[in-house]
Amino acid sequence: MSAADFRKLADLFPNETVTHSYVQDLALPAVDGKSPGIFALVTLDNGLDHSKPTTLGPATLVELGTVLEGLKERAARGEIVGVGVTGKPHFLVAGADLSTVKSLSGREHGLWMAQLGHEAYSALANLGVPSFAFINGLALGGGLEIALQSTYRTVSTGAGALALPEAFIGLIPGWGGVYILPRLIGPENAVKVMIENPLSNNRTLTGPQAYQLGVADALFEPADFVEQSLAWASKVIAGAVTPERPNAVDPSAPEVAERWAGAVAAGRAFVEAKTSNASPAPAKVLDVLEANRTISQAESAELECETLADLMQTDEFRSTVYAFLDLVQRRSKRPAGAPDRKLARPVTKIGVVGAGLMASQLALLFARQLKVPVVMTDIDQARVDKGVAYVHAEVERLLEKKRITADAANRTRALVTGSVSKEAFADADFVIEAVFEELSVKKQVFKEVEAIVSPDCILATNTSSLSVTAMAEGLAHPERLVGFHFFNPVAVMPLLEIVRAPKTEDAVLATAFELAKGLKKSAVLVKDAPAFVVNRILLRLMGEVTAAFDEGTPAEVADNALREMGLPMTPFTLGAMVGLPVAQHVQESLHAAFGDRFPVSRNLQTLIDNGVKSIWAPAPGADGKPSVPAETLALLSFGTSPSTGEEVLRRTQDALAEEIALMLDEGVVAGPEDIDLCMILGAGWPMFLGGITPYLDRVGASERVNGRKFLAAGVASAPA
């Protein structure tokens, strides 16, 4: 078998951006006065600038494998004494070309792709001379596996991100990573890199962290990384340096077997806690890890290829690629429907009406990210002082954690001031209100603000449930009002729903989008409609589950019915976190707008009236499972038509499919992609659901309810 045998696979993708393997022969630097010989350095380069990462598609792997086979022959002839692999500036390789892998049709092609990687990489370990990876930059997935398959590794202190994110993507590190890494850095560290990091917001390692873990044998600074790596390789080849690998383990040792099993078990518990095993990939990583302790690398390779071929066929994988590449990395950077950014007006001072918790969080965010003066107002000095004090305390906390410098802390503190007079807004360019969620209050606020600010000062509302259109009524300049809806906690959640009311003008919207970018938020354009996107969908979901509960479904059945979706928390937990009164308030406004699709639960109202903050008891019961306290149950009344978990799941799926189709018909957002983006960024819904519409398509809800799928075949599912 040879890499060239896979050309048939490469031929299927004539448009691949090929990462070439360029070879340069270098005389190794002298060690003790003598050069050990000629070293062949392979550079992986797609010929494009740093905005176009190098990736691994079929043609790329065929070329790399062929080049390495050629070097093996040269090594056999004694022409070279070592081989190195490095990348173009900032990248070793960013990993497999996911768009290509996603569009592989049929399991056989997936298997070929998996085998091609092994074919190309195995050459690195069987050159007949030592191989070295010089990890000069980003190395993800298959990129890092090139390094792992090499005999030795150096890493740059400037290397951006090193990771095996496959468990997050929906695959396994199946080009040898899952076999080599636990042996190199120990099973516990391997589980951290292959499971915990990918499932923790896809965390990556820096160069120094990778070196500390033992992923690399030597660490050099970027300024002369290639030169120093080559000098180090020369010493290794000459025998002057032998890398120590304190974390490396022998899997056949009994104590290692025990550690191995422990690491796998800890990994499984972590996966269950993070994903409810709603996506198959993380468990498969652990299955292969568990199995490969006692088998050869070749046997593991076969298992890895079969597993990869299976996973490449899953919609969880395709949905993740859709969510990650198409939505989060691409669509969020070019919001659909956003006006020309050239229309945006400069914002040099911001006003925040209110000095409560939300207002103070907003003031801090604006001051930190936009670095413009922010003035908060409230009805009395005590409230104003409290708001400013909150900001100062948060700044102090950031300073203590060394997240900001003392100078930045001074700057931020100085930017945020408070006043009891709205006159302070006179020279503001953007005034946002964060006052009580009551239309008349907000209208009154804007009336007062409008009397003070300049005619083109933008007015924004952070309302989550009120009509922006209604709020604009009575304004002298209704065209300047825009919805600017953050998610809690505002410093963390990446989504911003920018709400266009009928009269909102383009320059105002464009400014809002530029502000969002300055705040490092991903903005989605939303039409003014009740609860916009995220809250409408969340409450439709919570409404269905609560209704099932009210009808007599046991709490544990109702609240766990959606487990297969792998949502970040159960509906009841979410309700308690948001606050039952807040959730109920939004539900009421949705009920007012849409009627019975959003039933208002009498049971919930009873709990609110009695000051109960959560359906579940604060602490789990004696059996470790959550329970509803007897005194809570005593307050509630239930119907007599309980549902099974499957029934609750299905009615929720159907309700979501119905609601989203209605939202799209109403033109709330430009397309299902925006719905998905909102749920990923605003609610933390998993990428293996693709947000939500790929999941609803996958389980048949879209067709059951609407007669058609939301997305075309191939977008987040198997190609047509």
- In this complex, which beta carbon is closest to other proteins, that of residue 210 or of residue 226? 226
Task: Please list, residue by residue across 254-288, b when 16 or more beta carbons sit within 10 angstroms of its beta carbon and e when fewer do.
Answer: eebbebbeebbebbbebbeebbbebbbbbbbbbbb
Taking the complex as a whole, the smallest distance from the CB of residue 405 to other proteins amounts, in Å, to 14
Q: How far is CA 373 from CA 388, 415, 700, in A?
A: 13, 4, 51
Distance CA 273, CA 566 (A): 10
Is 569 an interacting residue with respect to other proteins (CB under 8 A)?
no
**Segment interacting with other proteins (CB under 8 A) among 85-93, 349-357, 388-396, 595-603:** 85-93
Binding status of residue 42 toward other proteins by CB under 8 A: yes
Per-residue contact flags (x/-) with other proteins for residues 8 to 27, judged by CB under 8 A: ------------x-xxx-xx
Among 18, 68, 230, 409, binds other proteins (CB under 8 A): 230
Q: Which of residues 210-229 bind other proteins (CB under 8 A)?
A: 221, 223-227
Smallest gap from Cβ 43 to other proteins, in A, equals: 3
Bridge partners (DSSP) listed for residue 26:
39
Residue 225 vs 616, nearer CB to other proteins: 225
- Rounded to whole angstroms, what are the CA distances from 586 to 204, 302, 437, 443? 38, 53, 10, 19
Task: Specify the residue, 208 or 518, whose C-beta has the smaller distance to other proteins.
Answer: 208
Residue 41 binds other proteins, judged by CB under 8 A: yes
Tell whether residue 45 is a contact of other proteins (CB under 8 A): yes
The reply to whether 436 sits near other proteins by the rule CB under 8 A is no
User: 30 or 269, CB closer to other proteins?
Assistant: 30
Instruction: In angstroms, give the least distance from the CB of 227 to other proteins.
Output: 5
Residue 161 CB, nearest approach to other proteins (Å) = 21
CB-wise, 233 or 311, nearer to other proteins? 233
Given 17, 19, 86, 100, the residue binding other proteins (CB under 8 A): 86
Kindly state whether residue 140 participates in binding other proteins, applying the rule CB under 8 A. Answer: no
Rounded distance, CA 360 to CA 366, Å? 10
**Rounded CA gap, 118 and 76, in Å?**
21
CA distance 359 to 471: 19
| Nearest alpha-carbon partner for 352 in 360, 342, 340 | 360
Q: 78 — alpha (psi -120 to 50), left (phi > 0) or beta?
A: left
Q: How far is the CB of 703 from other proteins (least distance, A)?
A: 51
Nearer to other proteins, 110 or 143 (CB): 143
Rg over alpha carbons for the chain, rounded to the nearest Å, is: 29
Output the smallest distance, CB 24 to other proteins, in A.
4
Nearest-approach distance from CB 158 to other proteins, in angstroms: 11
Q: How many residues bind other proteins, per CB under 8 A?
A: 23
Alpha helices by DSSP H, listed for 551-644, are: 555-560, 571-578, 580-594, 602-609, 630-635
Residues in 89-118 at the binding interface with other proteins, rule: CB under 8 A: 89
Give min distance, CB of 210 to other proteins, in A: 20
CB of 72 to other proteins, least distance (A): 19
Supply φ then ψ for residue 157, to 5 degrees: -60, -20
DSSP 465-489: SS-HHHHHTT-S-GGGEEEEEE-SS
Give the nearest distance from C-beta 155 to other proteins in angstroms.
Answer: 16
Q: Rule CB under 8 A: say whether 240 interacts with other proteins.
A: no
Residue (90 or 368) nearer to other proteins, CB: 90
Compare residues 136 and 197 and give the one whose CB is closer to other proteins.
Answer: 136
Q: What is the DSSP letter of 96?
A: B
- Residue 270, SS3 per DSSP: helix
How far apart are alpha carbons 148 and 692 in whole angstroms? 36
Q: Least distance to other proteins from the beta carbon of 226, Å? A: 4
* 292 close to 174: Cβ distance less than 8 angstroms: no
CB atoms within 10 A of CB 478: 19
How far CA 151 is from CA of 88, 168, 184, 194, in Å, comes to 21, 27, 11, 20
Residues that bind other proteins (CB under 8 A): 20, 22-24, 26-27, 29, 41-43, 45, 47, 86, 88-89, 221, 223-227, 230-231
